[in-house]
Amino acid sequence: MRQVISSSLFTGASFSVNTEHLIDAIKSIPGAIAIYPIYFASGPQYFENYWPIGRKSDNQSDSISAHKLTGVDRVHKELKNFGKGVRIAIIDNGIDYYHPALGGCFGPDCKVAFGYVGDEFSGSHIIPEPDDDPLDNCTHIAGILAANATEIVQTNYSPLEPFIGVAPQATIGAYRIFGCSENGTTTDLITAAIYRAFEDKADIITMSVGSMGSYAERSDAVAVKRVSKAGVYVVCSMGNDGRKGLQTGANPAIAKDAIAVGSVDNSYEAQLYLITPNGEKIFYIPGIAYGGWRSTICSTIVVNDPQATSNDGCSGPSKPVEDAVVLYAVSRADTCNSTVRCNKAAEQGAIGCLLYNIDSIIGSSVIPSGSISLEDGQSIIKIVTENSSAIFTFTNMLEFNPMLTVGAPSPFTSLGLTSDLLFKPQISGIGGYVYSTISSYAAQNQYLTNAYASYSGTSMACPYVAGTLALYLSQIGNPAPETVNKAFNNGTTHRPSISEVLNLFQSNANPVNIYNSTLLASTVQQGAGLVNAFQALTATTIISPSELALNDTVRQQESYVIEVFNIGKKTTSYNISHHGAALITGIQDGNDQLLSQPLYSADYAVSSICTMRDTVYHEIGN
């Protein structure tokens, strides 16, 4: 027996069988209503080294916080709403609740107040055990949701800039379904966590976990449907397989009643940097094998080949590199990788290795290594050409680097639609370059001075949207889940259903353009657009339905009615128009072979809108 689940919504158990047990024999178990196979789900996916397209050259005056992009800052400042009273369950791989920005404790009177936290909790070891160093992906998620890093004085916990999460007064539940290996979990453990979070009175469940799937028929998808219909909103990351083509969304995000979230890039990323002799800072991405520099050192840089010919360094350094950092160029014609080049440099006495014109690298296994942009590589070459004895300072310190892609869809977001041609993702949150809390263990492992870092992924966008839902529930008094779909005659507010919440948030999202383009990104990448909490919480208009799927089993008519509801206090006029998004092509021209990277073009869909009059007037209450 693996798991026994006893919930008001579901009663069942998971168990292992051998090949002698036929499915018909399992179906014959007395009282069995449905049988679901157990599937493996991969571990948390996010990017420490998501390569930025470019850096802004001008000095930016806006805050490093993503909240200005999403209206959350206005909810905090103008509505004085910080999510108080709302309970959010995080199903992932554990929280370092000792982090002072997350309250520093675990229990009823703490910010992280409920759930379970344990080690050795995986598909092969299903009983959680106490753990002194919980993994950190969920610590980052918890910080996005509810951190308060504004007045921290403890050593090793000072952020680069004080910040708060989306809903810093919300109460967090930690549901750990991974062990320290972080290699994966199983759907019965996910299912058990969903039902347990529901029974623990969570108002919102956020899940940055799942695996690519075609249809939402697994036990965890069924759990999402039941919990959502019972009034608890389930927010799921869409996945990070956007470079694998269309219809790559993760399960259970593709479940009908899950809110699937895509990612949009933030304004800034906290990155490691080195300093040139003239004081300019150059940001670098540390190699994966050994990492970057673990302390501050000063060194010369040897440019192996100023002409940047192909296979630079593949045969080892062409110049003496002892006690120096070597710089290699990278080109598409190269036949060797970063590990070969950097390890050969280490054999010749190099104390560091840099590669330019490349994104993240594996690098050396024995010396610090990192990657930098083409522009920065050329800048170093110019300095060294003028003075070969120039001293550079290499650090393990972070600084905020402004991003050119701010407000654009992150290319890693898994693309919709579902295999049923249903609308996914439904909305986007900030998931590219998100600065948040990490565990002290992760900080030590990355040789960071303080327990904060920038990660990227829909794993980060998902809790951001969950936080905006917490602000919404707090704003309307957080009606209990059991009031969903109930009507009251005494003025009592009921909890809106999942469809009502989606209508509100999708109607008030901000559609975003493809990076460096005037084209709106496709809905299969951004959903309705980037969440805007202030617009949703102060909305005067709701559109229903807020999405139209293309599934021909549910869309068989030639035309459809879309209703516009005035929920404000004034008579309002509406001008209705259609603004097409980019056409996304997922197959090769002339055949049906899938493209790993879809093509985008300005070939808009044609939409005809008919109204009784050019301008529609709608009185409140009618």
CA-to-CA distance for 601 and 585, rounded, in angstroms?
8
Residue 617 lies in a domain: no
Residue 118 lies in a domain: yes
CATH number at residue 323: 3.50.30.30
pLDDT for the residue numbered 93: 83
CA-to-CA distance for 49 and 276, rounded, in angstroms?
22
Residue 55 lies in a domain: no
Answer with the one of 447, 473, 499 that is the final residue of a domain: 473
Do 263 and 291 have their domain in common? no
Residue 485 lies in a domain: no
pLDDT for the residue numbered 554: 66
Answer with the one of 397, 427, 451 that is the final residue of a domain: 397
Residue 315 lies in a domain: yes
pLDDT below 70 — which residues of the chain?
19, 43-63, 117-137, 180-183, 214, 488-491, 553-555, 605, 611-622
Do 453 and 355 have their domain in common? no
CATH number at residue 450: 3.40.50.200
**Residue 205 forms beta bridges with which residues?**
89, 234
Do 191 and 211 have their domain in common? yes
Do 243 and 296 have their domain in common? no
pTM of the predicted model, to two decimals? 0.91
Do 211 and 306 have their domain in common? no
Domain count, the chain: 2
Do 374 and 274 have their domain in common? yes
Residue 284 lies in a domain: yes
Do 155 and 85 have their domain in common? yes
What is the 3-class SS of 161-226, one letter each residue? CCEECCCCCCEEEEEECCCCCCCEEEHHHHHHHHHHHHHCCCCEEEECCCEECCCCCCHHHHHHHH
pLDDT for the residue numbered 209: 85
Do 416 and 302 have their domain in common? no
pLDDT for the residue numbered 121: 54
What is the 3-class SS of 391-439, one letter each residue? CEEEEEEEEEEEECCCCCECCCCCCCCCCCCCCCCCEEEEEECEEEECC
Do 368 and 442 have their domain in common? no
pLDDT for the residue numbered 532: 98
Do 94 and 234 have their domain in common? yes
Residue 478 lies in a domain: no
Do 300 and 410 have their domain in common? no
Contact 334, 304 (CB under 8 A): no
- Could you list the residue range(s) of the whole structural domain that residue 248 is in? 40-45+68-267+404-473
Do 438 and 289 have their domain in common? no
